[in-house]
């Protein structure tokens, strides 16, 4: 167990809807990253938050957005869902300047 939790575990949405995924980190982990993992692929970096500010973004459109709260928990929001957004969404947390990231169990999103 990494101490990182994500909710919900599974979610089914229809095309065009919006979704919010949540991540709670270990105590003291002030950096959170979100990854998208399509079936049979490795995870792809979406963005990273450090002390409530986005400080890195991968090749994802603006309809993918996030928030980090003062307690370092985080949300990933996806607007105007597309079928290709179906994937496992993983968050990973770490302490500032530490190299090791700790992953949550993921949220599996299915878009119909």
What does the binding site for other proteins look like in residue numbers (CB under 8 A)? 2, 4, 31, 33, 35, 39-45, 48, 55-56, 58-59, 88, 90, 92, 94, 99-106, 108
Q: Shortest Cβ distance from residue 106 to other proteins (Å)?
A: 5
Spatial distance between the Cα atoms of 101 and 110, rounded to a whole number of angstroms:
26
Spatial distance between the Cα atoms of 112 and 110, rounded to a whole number of angstroms:
6
**Closer by beta carbon to other proteins, 39 or else 62:** 39
**Closer by beta carbon to other proteins, 25 or else 33:** 33
**Closer by beta carbon to other proteins, 81 or else 89:** 89
Which residues touch 103 (CB under 8 Å, ≥6 apart)? 2, 4, 90, 91, 92
Q: Shortest Cβ distance from residue 10 to other proteins (Å)?
A: 11
Residues 73 and 8: beta-carbon distance below 8 Å: no
Which residues touch 98 (CB under 8 Å, ≥6 apart)? none
Q: Shortest Cβ distance from residue 50 to other proteins (Å)?
A: 9
């Amino acid at each position: 167990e990494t101490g990182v939790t994500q909710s919900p575990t599974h979610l089914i949405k229809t095309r065009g809807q919006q979704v919010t995924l949540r991540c709670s980190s270990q105590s003291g982990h002030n950096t959170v990253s979100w990854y998208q993992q399509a079936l049979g692929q490795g995870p792809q970096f979406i963005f990273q938050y450090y002390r409530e500010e986005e400080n890195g973004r991968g090749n994802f459109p603006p309809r993918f957005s996030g928030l980090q709260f003062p307690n370092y928990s985080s949300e990933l929001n996806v607007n105007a869902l597309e079928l290709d957004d179906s994937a496992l969404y993983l968050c990973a947390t770490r302490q500032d300047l530490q190299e090791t990231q700790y992953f949550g169990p993921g949220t599996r999103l299915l878009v119909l």
